[in-house]
Amino acid sequence: MIPASFAPMILKIILPQIREILAPLFKYKDEPNELDIQMEDVEKKCSDISIKLEAMESVLKDLDDDSHPIQPFDERITKLEEFAKQVRRKKAFKRKDGE
């Protein structure tokens, strides 16, 4: 057994060596390293993108509210076909070949 009077002297010798061993671990734990910095940058970019996305969604909603109602394609196609028939019936647009 070691006498109690030697304990403080042994601790004075051993504690500085233990601190030297543990100092890099505490430094790694407490200070941000390059991966922490990169992660912070990614989080900032994600938050910026989410803000822009929300703004774009609100703009699209406003545009949708202000736009004309959608007309079905069938009606538009039939109107164009009727117009094409009318144009074909005109003499000025007929070919002189007889076709």
Q: Is the pTM of this model over 0.85?
A: no
Give the pair of three-digit tokens for residue 64.
């949708």
Q: What is the pLDDT along the chain (99 residues), one digit of tens a residue?
A: 667 777 788 888 888 888 888 888 888 788 888 999 999 999 999 999 999 999 999 999 988 887 777 767 888 888 889 988 888 887 666 666 655
Question: For the chain, what's the residue count?
Answer: 99
Residue % of the chain over a pLDDT of 70: 88
Are 22 and 29 in contact by the 8 Å Cβ rule? The answer is no
Give the pair of three-digit tokens for residue 30.
């407490």
The span from the CA of 58 to the CA of 50, in Å, is 12
Instruction: Using alpha carbons, list the distances in angstroms from residue 24 to 16, 39, 61.
Output: 13, 22, 54
pLDDT score for 97: 61
Q: Where do the domains of the chain lie?
A: 1-31, 34-89
